[in-house]
C-alpha cells in the first residue's frame, strides 16, 4: 500500500519508473514514425506537448527526424546507384553479345565467300583439265592404234593424270566415236540364235548391237560363239 493515501479515499495510479533504455527505444520508434509523415505534419507535432511524454525537446526530435530522413535518402541513392550499375552491366553484356553475333555473322560470310571462290577455282581447274584431256584424246585418237598406249602414258605424265583412269576415259571416247551418227530402227524385232554346235570364223561372225533402242548389224573381229541370244 502507498504511504500517502489520498485524502478523499480514492485509489491513486502509481506509474512505475521507465528505464533509460526503454525511453530511448520509444523515442526512436516515434522519430521513425514521424519521419514517414509529411514534413508539415511532424513540424507541427513536435511543437506541441506531444514530445514531453518522450522526455525530449522539439530540437532533439527535429534533429533526430532529419537524421533519419538523411539516412533514408542516402540509402535510396545507394540503391539507385547499384541499380544503374546493374543496368549498365546488363547493357554492356548485351552490346558484347550483339558484337559477337555480328562478328560470327561476318566470319560466316567470309567463310562462305572463301568456299564459293574455292569451288569456282576447282571448277575452272577441272574445266581446264577436261579441255586438255579432250585435246589430248583427239590428237591420240587420230594416231595408229599401236601408238595409243605410249601416247596415253605421255599425256598422263604431262597432264598429271592417273594413267589407268585416263586410259578408261580414252576407251570410252573411242567407243563413242565408233557409233554411227545416223541409226535407223529395224521394222521388226530381231531374233538371233547361235547353235552351240555351230562355229563361226573370227573375220565373218556378225553381232547384233543394241544402241539406244536401235539394232545395228556389223562385223566384229573379236566375236566368239555365243549362246542363244534373244532380243525383243
Q: pLDDT, tens digit, for every residue of 138-159?
A: 888 888 888 888 888 888 888 8
* pLDDT-based confidence at residue 116 (cuts at 50, 70, 90): very high
Residues 162-175 pLDDT 10s: 888 888 888 888 88
Residue-range domain boundaries for the chain: 20-88, 183-232
- Give long-range contacts, CB 8 A cutoff, 24+ apart: 154-159: 159/129, 159/132, 159/133
| Residue 159 near residue 123 (C-beta atoms within 8 A) | no
Would you state the pLDDT for residue 153? 87
Closest CA to 225 of 186, 191, 183, 197: 197
Percent of the chain with pLDDT over 90: 30
What does the pLDDT average to over 52-81? 91
Residue 180 has pLDDT above 80, yes or no: no
> How many Å from the N-terminal Cα to the C-terminal Cα in the chain?
141
* Distance (Å, whole) CA 82 – CA 111: 43
Would you state the pLDDT for residue 220? 43
Residues 7-35 pLDDT 10s: 555 555 555 676 778 888 888 998 999 99
184: phi > 0 → left, psi -120 to 50 → alpha, else beta; which? beta
Instruction: Please give the residue that has the higher pLDDT: either 193 or 119.
Output: 119
Residue 59 has pLDDT above 70, yes or no: yes
| Joined grid coordinates for residue 99 | 558484337
Distance of CA 175 to the CA centre of its chain: 50
Instruction: Give the DSSP H/E element, type plus range, for residue 208.
Output: strand 206-211
Would you state the pLDDT for residue 147? 84
Residue 63 has pLDDT above 90, yes or no: yes
Pick from 91-100, 197-206, 213-222 the range whose average pLDDT is largest.
91-100
- Give long-range contacts, CB 8 A cutoff, 24+ apart: 117-123: none
Would you state the pLDDT for residue 201? 43
SS3 content of the chain, % helix, strand, coil (to 5): 60, 5, 30
Between CA 227 and CA 194, with CA 203 as vertex, the angle to 5 degrees is 20
10 Å CB burial of residue 200 (0-12, 13-18, 19+) is: middle
5: which residues sit within 8 A by CB, 6+ positions away? 12
Amino acid at each position: 500500500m502507498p504511504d500517502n493515501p489520498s485524502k478523499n479515499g480514492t485509489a491513486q495510479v502509481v506509474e512505475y519508473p521507465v528505464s533509460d533504455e526503454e525511453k530511448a527505444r520509444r523515442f526512436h520508434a516515434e522519430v521513425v514514425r514521424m519521419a514517414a509523415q509529411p514534413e508539415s505534419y511532424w513540424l507541427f507535432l513536435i511543437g506541441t506537448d506531444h514530445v514531453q511524454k518522450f522526455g525530449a525537446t522539439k530540437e532533439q526530435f527535429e534533429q533526430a527526424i532529419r537524421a533519419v530522413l538523411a539516412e533514408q535518402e542516402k540509402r535510396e541513392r545507394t540503391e539507385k546507384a547499384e541499380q544503374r550499375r546493374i543496368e549498365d552491366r546488363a547493357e554492356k553484356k548485351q552490346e558484347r553479345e550483339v558484337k559477337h553475333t555480328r562478328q560470327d555473322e561476318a566470319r560466316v560470310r567470309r567463310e562462305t565467300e572463301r568456299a564459293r571462290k574455292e569451288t569456282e577455282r576447282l571448277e575452272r581447274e577441272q574445266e581446264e583439265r577436261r579441255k586438255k584431256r579432250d585435246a589430248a584424246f583427239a590428237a591420240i585418237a587420230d594416231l595408229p592404234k599401236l601408238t595409243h598406249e605410249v601416247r596415253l602414258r605421255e599425256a598422263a605424265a604431262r597432264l598429271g593424270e592417273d594413267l589407268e583412269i585416263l586410259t578408261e576415259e580414252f576407251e570410252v571416247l573411242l567407243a563413242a566415236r565408233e557409233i554411227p551418227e545416223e541409226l535407223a530402227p529395224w521394222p521388226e524385232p530381231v531374233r538371233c540364235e547361235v547353235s552351240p554346235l555351230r562355229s563361226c570364223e573370227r573375220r565373218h561372225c556378225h553381232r547384233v548391237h543394241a544402241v539406244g533402242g536401235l539394232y545395228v548389224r556389223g562385223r566384229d573381229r573379236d566375236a566368239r560363239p555365243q549362246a542363244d541370244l534373244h532380243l525383243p
